[in-house]
Amino acid sequence: MRELILIVDDEPGILTTLSHILEDEGFETIATGSGEEALELYRRRRPAAVFLDVWLPDRDGLEALAAIRELDPEARVIMISGHGTTRTAVKAIKMGAFDYLEKPLSYDRTVETLRAALADLSAPRPLSTAFLEIGAEREELERPFAAPPLLPIVKETELPQRTIAAPGVIYGHGLHSGTRTGMALRPLPPGRGVHFLTLPTGTAIPAHLSAVGETEYATTLTREGEEIRTVEHLLSALHALGVTNLLVKVHGEIPALDGSAVELVRKLEEIGLVDQDAPRREVVIDRRYALEGVGEKLLVIEPAERLEVSYHLRYPPPIGEQFFHFVLTGPEAYREEIAPARTFGFMRDLKMLSELGLGAGGRLDNFILVGEDNIINTELRWPDEFVRHKILDIIGDLYLLGYPLRGKVTARFTGHRENIAIGRTILAAH
């Protein structure tokens, strides 16, 4: 009788390829892209071993590993990932995984690891200390996430709150870390807000100004020694699409994709957005707030009927002086006028960025590289793509107030640091 192997991966190509490999080696296989279904299949079929991806839309691989090992302490689980980290691998092994394989999978290594796992069935291993603590960690993962703090200028509107229709996964590289990364998106109930959850530690970090750490070249959220880098593009897309409740599980840095927010918007709309049975709250600007007096920089937020952003930018050629005024009339306006605008960097700064440990993920297809006289690596999507990206960043950074913003923003020569500073000025005034 052929031994049954369960394959769990959200990529159909991996399911098909790995199934064919193992069947050619004389095994029977069953496959699923769902962590929840994997647990049910394990409960009913009791496979001899499991290949389990780290990134799954409904239940991440570490959670699924814990659940399978709780169901069967002798389960032989081989973790697989193309977007994991050394820390994830170490944690998986401590939790009882037999081994951890990096994608793309080697034919020989895959088969050898499986045969070694099956040979080890005669010598069950005790649960590790890390696994014994997993119950507490799962409670942490499932706890209710607190809503952002309410301020006097946070008002209920006639619009509904919104989340995603189903769990989803997005893969990519970190723009500054350069490492392969991914993020799993999960819906949250009304009134919870946007929250990040670090993998593999399970540290919860709210999308709020109180969690902002670094603002050099990107916005980084930190808590308890953990950090999530480059959150502004994702938050910009969520802000514009009206997504008010969401859980984002991620390794260290949000995937850069093409350096803009357009793929994030596409993926979120592909997953689906659903209105919730609760009124949306917004930060309604009640007076003029300003950061002034730092050279030529200016950042002002004033009352308005909707979110508007005007930005004045000036760099040496080939960028020059640019101005753009954007009114967020709805997701379509953002998708067409702002979302495709990519982040940019200068050849002259590459050495400094490298010394700071930044920009390692800057590939020729995920940002605009500006030389002394020309754009080096791409064609611009608009002549004023640079100023549009500055507006994209502002929309993302200001979502760290915890709620969508209703107000008019006027900015000149500013960046992440000033965006966060004026947000904190608004909080401090209330």
Q: Which residues are catalytic?
A: 416
CA distances from 182 to 204, 252, 253, 316 (A): 17, 9, 8, 36
List 248's β-bridge partners, or say none: 185, 196
Q: 3-state DSSP call for residue 106?
A: coil
User: Using alpha carbons only, what angle is made at residue 394 by residues 389 and 395, rounded to the nearest 5 degrees?
Assistant: 95
Distance, in Å, from the CA atom of 358 to the CA atom of 177, rounded to the nearest integer, reads 6
Residue 71 host element (H or E): helix 61-71
Tokens 């991914």 appear where? 182
CA distances from 228 to 253, 262, 345 (A): 5, 20, 21
Distance, in Å, from the CA atom of 100 to the CA atom of 89, rounded to the nearest integer, reads 6
Packing angle, helices 61-71 and 86-94, rounded to 10: 10
Cβ atoms of residues 274 and 165 within 8 Å = yes
Q: Name the DSSP letter for residue 366.
A: S
Distance, in Å, from the CA atom of 196 to the CA atom of 339, rounded to the nearest integer, reads 22
